[in-house]
Structure 1
Amino acid sequence: MHILANITSVDPDILHDDTCEVSVGDHPFVTKESYVAYEYAIERHKNFVDRQAQLKVYKPHKAASTALVDRICEGIKKSKFTPRAVKDCYDATVRAAAKKNKNN
């Protein structure tokens, strides 16, 4: 499973989830102050994501830095807006990775 979350521009007139704010320079895609909109995070199977990429619904961008990915992942657990199913999916993925690393 993959967890998909939007990185959304900050509108100074609207409250936003400040769990994981993303600044200009954190990633080339980000051109103004932004944040991860955890409330809209969804889980999707790899085949779905691959198909959307083939159809060009999802457009590739440069890979995010490890530091940015770590901040986004930490926010999945910290944000009060992350849907329970997404938090559960993340927990299961972390447990599976730990088990795999232990067996190697």
Structure 2
Amino acid sequence: MAEWQSSPGHTLLVPSGPSGLHLFVLILGPVVVPSYGTAPQLSIVSATSIRDGIPHDPACELYPGEHPFIQHPSYIAYRHLRIDSAAHVEKMISSAMWAPHEPCADVLLQRIVAGVCKSKLTPREFKQLFGCF
């Protein structure tokens, strides 16, 4: 098991949907986000497998070998980008509900963060937070 650090590029395996674990990547934080109060927050995004015949967000596609967890062509699901308190994330890790995984390479993290602004599916509040406009 990788050691978790709440810094961009670190990853978690999170139970999500009917298909088991999804890779989540920390892309911002810990930072205070004024609309979320004074506690430090983390912004995380998930990777989802690309399925034949099902449209997906092309803003940041991932391929096997780019991260140890990625075994199939995948994409970052910016429409599900979320903010969680750092305390909540730490609690989920300490209770073994979420599991740390290997961090992303810097070049992959840069692509994922750039995709926040590139994606047409990123919610407006997150585009503002990341300075997209």
1:30 pairs with one of 70, 82, 91: 70
Q: Note if contact 1:23-1:34 (Cα within 8 Å) is conserved in structure 2.
A: yes
How much identity, in percent, do the aligned residues show? 32
Matched residues in 2 for 1:87 and 1:57: separation? 29
Q: Counterpart in 1 of 2:114? A: 74
Question: 1:89 offset after TM fit, Å?
Answer: 2.9
SS in 2 for 1:85: helix
Higher share of residues assigned helix: 1
Specify which structure has the higher proportion of strand: 2
Q: Which residue of 2 aligns with 1:50?
A: 90
- 1:1-104 alignment, distance < 5 Å: 1-91=41-131
What's the Cα RMSD here? Answer: 1.1
Cross-structure match for 2:19 = none
Does the 8 Å contact 1:76/1:87 carry over to 2? yes
Q: List, as ranges, runs of 4+ consecutive aligned residues in structure 1 with deviation greater than 3 Å.
A: none
- C-alpha distance in 1 between matches for 2:64 and 2:126: 27
Residue type of the alignment partner of 1:10? I
Tell me: CA distance 1:89–1:48, structure 2 relative to 1, closer, same or farther (3 Å): farther
Residues matched between the structures, number: 91
Distance 2:58 2:96 in 1: 30
TM-score by length of 2: 0.65
Matched position secondary structure for 1:49: helix
